[in-house]
Amino acid sequence: TGCLEEYRDAINALNVFPVPDGDTGTNMLLTLKAVVQAANDIPGSAISNVANAAAHGALLGARGNSGVIFSQFLRGIARTFEGHADADAGLLAAAFTEGGIATYRAVINPVEGTMLTVIHRTAEAMQSASSSPDIDITCVLEAVLDAAQDAVAQTPSQLPVLKAAGVVDAGGQGYSLMLD
């Protein structure tokens, strides 16, 4: 949560879509704190248990559009990890893909150039990076972070309101910082 906490005000300042209410950073931070608390409160370390607890914490602690979207992302991840004690790069890629699908399903009118797009691009990058045999999961995560940062940088070209305001998408930036 430290990185997101450090940049909360900067993310709030980016917040122009869907409404310029300046609270995306705060909402994402509060949601993430609920995720961390829930994940830390469960015994054991099986990936399915941790993911289910995190998804449940996100659902209960979700704040604002970005928090709800992130909670659905974690819900998709938890579904993929169900029954697994640990994860390799391939399972993690499948989880990110399912998480991305869940976010689009959760939004009535998905808009490109938002957090949804950034999540989708990271899932694509993870699928691509994890397809190499014997890939180190650290390398996969680095590729995903690069993809997230690139996707955030492209949001103003996808969403005119962002371009007009001269900002990137606040939710996408917050998600990128969470990955970082």
Task: Write down the number of H helices and E strands in the chain.
Answer: 9, 0
69, 78, 80: which is closest to 120 by C-alpha?
69
Q: Are 55 and 78 in contact (CB under 8 A)?
A: yes
Q: How far apart are CA 174 and CA 177, in angstroms?
A: 5
* Structure confidence at residue 170 (pLDDT): 95
Q: What is the DSSP letter of 140?
A: H
- Confidence bin at 20 (pLDDT 50/70/90): confident
pLDDT one-digit tens code per residue, 85-95: 999 888 999 99
Q: What is the DSSP letter of 106?
A: H
Average pLDDT score over residue span 170-180: 94
Rg (CA), the chain: 15
- pLDDT above 80: residue 18: no
Q: Are 117 and 172 in contact (CB under 8 A)?
A: yes
Q: Are 98 and 106 in contact (CB under 8 A)?
A: no
Please report, rounded to a whole number, the percentage of residues in the chain having pLDDT higher than 90: 79
- pLDDT above 80: residue 19: no
Per the rule left: phi > 0, alpha: psi between -120 and 50, beta: everything else, 134 is: left
pLDDT one-digit tens code per residue, 107-141: 999 999 999 999 999 999 999 998 887 788 888 89
